[in-house]
Structure 1
């Protein structure tokens, strides 16, 4: 379908479809202005000259995007449109760049034929470009300086990789700004509807004072209308008297300054202060909250064979304590999914006495049901009222919670005598029941928590490798962190994206070997790809330092998400174009007999303008995507990765080529 993801793929393609025409038109213009051939022959020669790099760069983009089509799971729908639309658009762009674009360029530029004839050593590059690029590359045309540049770039790449792993917060998907929030309350077991309602009234009083809150609706003792959370997080099952659900509608995004995520952070501490006297767990959930998981952090607690479920429960309680000690502030609503049933009373019937008084079991059940839940007597219809008034017979609130009053209830037997309930049996307290959960035929206890203000992976790793190392769980208890939580989906998605990236790199490398018939030359061209991380990692780190905010005492970071990883994969095919074109022109200059250093300097100056133009158009195509909260990571990765790679490609690729060049070629520069 034509949806938001498809449109973003189209926007991304806008910056790529002009790259091949730019490369061809710039070369056509250069040869026509040089005047060495007739305009028609110059056009044909110019197109032929850049034909291999143009076709190779297009195939490289196709190869880098195609593996995304085979990614399954949650990120599959995000990848599919890009894996289809981008290769199609760049393919048609290449066809256009090789057919009618050169024809139009010939018609528009033939009047400028021979403008540069007689200009010594111009090769069509403007004088200011020759001076600028010559000043940039000249220091690195010495082998010692070239080695120094490569070492510095390697250190920058390693430092950027470490920065990405340890300082840039990682998350599956970023938070979106919605017009609604959801507040969940859970009081201790045994709390009545009235207790829960009192806390709800206090929460509603706080919400009523917030300017961004438009309206709200509360559900006490029952679940709110089913939605994403109700389906995935099982909120539809929250129907105990100790539970409440408040649905909040916010002002439209255009009428408030803070996103719904920041509002949730701002509300959290004041609401927790209201819930604390009641001993209640409170959680503020965003709609939708992210991936389809039970909770942001879901740990599965298992035990050795033969362990009772009570021992598993004890191990789960110990894990809850460890989570609290690990980071009590940023782990919110630490809970288990196993709740004991409320305290109950069972009426044990004395069969002999019941038979003696002619009382059946159904009579007692009907009597207790009417006393506790009420018996519908009929409808009272009043004049002027549209709806009838239901008449229900039931004991008062105080009496139906008193065993003495319940025991005084009388039941009329078959023989016509009224018999008190106390003479027919007695009330016996029933032990609370605990549901036993299984996964893959093993008993399990799910411990859930919400990660607030920090990346889920960072908090899980801290708990796993720091807290539990110092304070291990009881013997026989094991924990699986990658189960039903967001961490499992995050690992799975980044694993699939990493495999797609590796397949794309392998495909590009094979294409370059086929084209160049040289492994070393192909590796030189591939060096442009890892240079992208020099732009991506530091920028995401700086974005958190400069643009990351703190709301309500919680950090609101800018995450590197799966969409940012898509941007890194896309860059693999985009940045290789510059390296291919640059190396092709260097080799052509060397083949014409130019000294190596002059060939490198001349090739960079000639290709400087089209390389910069293609980079700028790609950046302009990605810029509108930065406004979307979900796909902004893709845009930032493209923009800054391309900036860094383009800059370093113009310096590093020629330097590596210089160092790998044969001595007899280098001697011509002497």
Structure 2
């Protein structure tokens, strides 16, 4: 997935120095957790820098412009294209670049030996026109949603492939831990802290965030799909009870889907959820066939009890053949590394739900409607 790392801990707080201290403690928890590898953070090591300043008064007395000094230093550090060369054998011009020799680039003294022409025509070395001071280089301050953040990252190795297990093992060590800055470390899963400056807090990100958002959206889509199916069946049968009976086998797909994943040693992924959403429509179709057939036979004068029994016997063959065709179609993507979850959901979900539909729907429909339809017949 498009994440910084499979396991990401985002550290927020009122002070960036404090955030870095907390991040180091969280990093220790990462390192102590079994099977957590590639532990790192966004804290940069202290590094020194050299600052070269132009002595403006001295340069002015010698008649040397500051831009000339900067140009010579730039040429020494990164080189400068001074002229192009055209040949009859190349389509594009070849630049001629002037720069210091590679063995001289590592020395500031060599750079300061470069000269610039003064007003009177003499060549003045840069060492006479600039001063060099040492300092500490600024560290990068990372931000997310305009808030300063320090990242601690890691990956999961070993028998358990999912980084979520490692994330919860780490959380058992960091949740509510007391801090030297005062207070306890806050813990957030799906959002940043409301007031990141009120406390030091840890927000989990990485594959966890992608997993949560994916299954949240899939769950909403599943609920919307079930609601639309219910409304369509209500419109078809003019009843609020019959659609509930028709949709009753939908939860039964779990009896096939979950053991199917366990049998193949596969994880329940987003494609598995897509398969469950597709199963809802397939199962409702089979249920509608049974209920509609019962109603048709009762309308023709058959006793309700006999019509219920006859529906399962008569419709069993086309329902089984249709389910078998769908299962065979899913069989071809069973070995796909991405869509095998979809295949497992369809194969085992259709297998179990088809068998249960032939039993559950007639029994539920008879239990709910026998009084009304027996009187009518």
TM-score band, normalised by shorter chain: 0.7 to 0.9
Contact 1:333–1:449, Cα closer than 8 Å, also in 2: yes
Of 471, 485, 501, the match for 2:222:
501
Whether 1:313 and 2:35 are equivalent positions in the alignment is no
Pick which of 424-433 and 581-590 moved more: 581-590
Change in 2 beyond 3 A, CA 1:595/1:394: closer
Superposition pairs for residues 612-627 of structure 1, below 5 Å? 612-626=320-334
Whether 1:611 and 2:340 are equivalent positions in the alignment is no
1:489 deviates by 3.6
Change in 2 beyond 3 A, CA 1:659/1:462: farther
1:424 deviates by 3.4
Secondary structure at 1:531 match in 2: helix
Partner residue, 2:55:
350
Return the alpha-carbon distance in structure 2 between the equivalents of residues 385 and 605 of structure 1: 82
Superposition pairs for residues 529-608 of structure 1, below 5 Å? 529-544=250-265, 558-585=266-293, 592=301, 594=303, 596=305, 600-608=308-316
Larger helix percent: 1
Count residues with an aligned counterpart.
353
1:480 deviates by 2.5
Whether 1:332 and 2:38 are equivalent positions in the alignment is yes
1:665 deviates by 9.4
Change in 2 beyond 3 A, CA 1:373/1:505: closer
1:346 deviates by 1.2
Return the alpha-carbon distance in structure 1 between the equivalents of residues 302 and 52 of structure 2: 105
Return the alpha-carbon distance in structure 2 between the equivalents of residues 349 and 663 of structure 1: 101
Of 137, 151, 168, the match for 1:432:
137
What is the aligned-residue RMSD (CA, Å)?
3.9
Contact 2:323–2:351, Cα closer than 8 Å, also in 1: yes
1:655 deviates by 4.1
Change in 2 beyond 3 A, CA 1:468/1:480: same
Pick which of 583-592 and 308-317 moved more: 583-592
Partner residue, 1:302:
12
1:468 deviates by 1.9
Superposition pairs for residues 509-524 of structure 1, below 5 Å? 509-516=230-237, 519-524=240-245
After TM superposition, the score normalised by the length of structure 1 is 0.45
Pick which of 346-355 and 567-576 moved more: 346-355
Return the alpha-carbon distance in structure 2 between the equivalents of residues 662 and 370 of structure 1: 95
Contact 1:539–1:640, Cα closer than 8 Å, also in 2: yes
Change in 2 beyond 3 A, CA 1:382/1:510: closer
Change in 2 beyond 3 A, CA 1:373/1:603: closer
Return the alpha-carbon distance in structure 2 between the equivalents of residues 424 and 527 of structure 1: 87
Superposition pairs for residues 267-278 of structure 1, below 5 Å? none
1:524 deviates by 2.9
Change in 2 beyond 3 A, CA 1:447/1:469: closer
Partner residue, 1:652:
360
Partner residue, 1:392:
98
For structure 2, list consecutive stretches of 5 or more residues without a partner in the other structure.
Answer: 184-198
Whether 1:634 and 2:312 are equivalent positions in the alignment is no
Return the alpha-carbon distance in structure 2 between the equivalents of residues 343 and 540 of structure 1: 55
Of 476, 492, 501, the match for 2:213:
492
Partner residue, 2:189:
none
Query: Deviations 1:106-145 (Å, cap 9, x if unpaired)?
Result: xxxxxxxxxxxxxxxxxxxxxxxxxxxxxxxxxxxxxxxx
Superposition pairs for residues 240-259 of structure 1, below 5 Å? none
Change in 2 beyond 3 A, CA 1:531/1:359: same
Whether 1:480 and 2:203 are equivalent positions in the alignment is yes
Secondary structure at 1:344 match in 2: strand
After TM superposition, the score normalised by the length of structure 2 is 0.75
1:512 deviates by 4.0
Query: Deviations 1:451-504 (Å, cap 9, x if unpaired)?
Result: 56722444434433x23227566642112235xx44334322322221221122
Whether 1:443 and 2:166 are equivalent positions in the alignment is no
Return the alpha-carbon distance in structure 1 between the equivalents of residues 55 and 90 of structure 2: 48
Partner residue, 1:279:
none
Return the alpha-carbon distance in structure 1 between the equivalents of residues 228 and 87 of structure 2: 81
1:406 deviates by 4.2
Return the alpha-carbon distance in structure 2 between the equivalents of residues 418 and 443 of structure 1: 49
Of 432, 452, 455, the match for 2:162:
455
Contact 1:408–1:420, Cα closer than 8 Å, also in 2: yes
Contact 1:322–1:471, Cα closer than 8 Å, also in 2: no
For structure 1, list consecutive stretches of 5 or more residues without a partner in the other structure.
Answer: 1-289, 545-557
Relative contact order higher in (CA < 8 Å, ≥ 6 apart): 1
Change in 2 beyond 3 A, CA 1:391/1:607: closer
1:319 deviates by 3.1
Change in 2 beyond 3 A, CA 1:408/1:437: same
Return the alpha-carbon distance in structure 2 between the equivalents of residues 567 and 437 of structure 1: 40
Return the alpha-carbon distance in structure 2 between the equivalents of residues 470 and 444 of structure 1: 19
Contact 2:286–2:319, Cα closer than 8 Å, also in 1: yes
